[in-house]
Amino acid sequence: MKPVKSIVRAGLMGLLACSLGAAFAQEAAIRKNLAERLPSLAKIDEVSKTPMNGLYEIRVNDSDIFYTDAEGNFLIQGNLIDTKAKRNLTEERVEKLSAIDFSALPLKDAFILVHGNGKRKLAVFEDPNCVYCKRFERDLQKVNDVTIYTFLLPILSPDSVEKSKNIWCAKDKGKAWLDWMVRDQTPAKASCDTAALERNLDFSKKHKITGTPTVFFADGTRVPGAISAQQVEKLLASAKPQ
């Protein structure tokens, strides 16, 4: 029986090798054709099959998603929806790609606010002149037992830079922040080393944090935009550190 098993094993290995060879050749064809026909398209980071027959995912710029056929004859930009499972596969994929390991966040460039025992944690990038950030901060006051790392991200106006500098240089950063965001008390003039704000801007560009607020949870989940206290609680409950 051993020779028969060996023959079967060899046959299976041969089929696997052929399958892998075909997959590599197909990916090479997609890359070649798209590069030649669409030179303005960013360099392709990854080509992978989707659950839809004959449709391939093209990933560029780390987390930008396109779709193409097996030969790169057509390029599609948009959302791929699984109608049976009622899932937005494109959205899920982008969320996964844009997640950031919490330990990779430059926490030294944030100030800390602790609610209750602080056993849970989240990080948020905010502009002091962002009205949605103000709404988020006011809702966040209802969330207990959490440590909040706040990264000042002055991207809306020159006044955002001024306010961010004054808040960062305040004797009590957290109080100055909440006085402005929750109680509408303008931060007092202050000066200090504000290189952290520049580093926050560089980090946001690198990781495509383009709007405020942008929230990160312990499991790396990224949530753009203001969310309610109830949504924060739900995500804190489901977030498990990476």
Domain 102-238: CATH superfamily, name plus number = Glutaredoxin (3.40.30.10)
Domain residue spans of the chain: 2-98, 102-238
pTM recorded for the entire structure: 0.74
Q: Do the domains 102-238 and 2-98 match in fold?
A: no
The pLDDT of residue 225:
92
Rounded distance, CA 133 to CA 155, Å? 13
Question: Could you tell me if 56 and 67 are in contact, meaning their C-beta atoms sit under 8 angstroms apart?
Answer: yes
Rounded distance, CA 178 to CA 187, Å? 10
Fold of 2-98: Nuclear Transport Factor 2; Chain: A, (3.10.450)
Q: Check whether 209 has a pLDDT greater than 60.
A: yes
Rounded distance, CA 239 to CA 100, Å? 13
Q: Check whether 129 has a pLDDT greater than 80.
A: yes
First to last CA, the chain: 48
The pLDDT of residue 15:
47
- Mean of per-residue pLDDT scores for the chain: 90
pLDDT in tens, 136-164: 999 999 999 999 999 999 999 999 999 99
Mean pLDDT, rounded, for 47-69: 93
CA torsion through residues 163, 164, 165, 169, sign = positive
Question: Could you tell me if 67 and 80 are in contact, meaning their C-beta atoms sit under 8 angstroms apart?
Answer: yes
pLDDT in tens, 2-48: 565 555 565 555 544 545 456 677 899 999 999 999 999 999 999 99
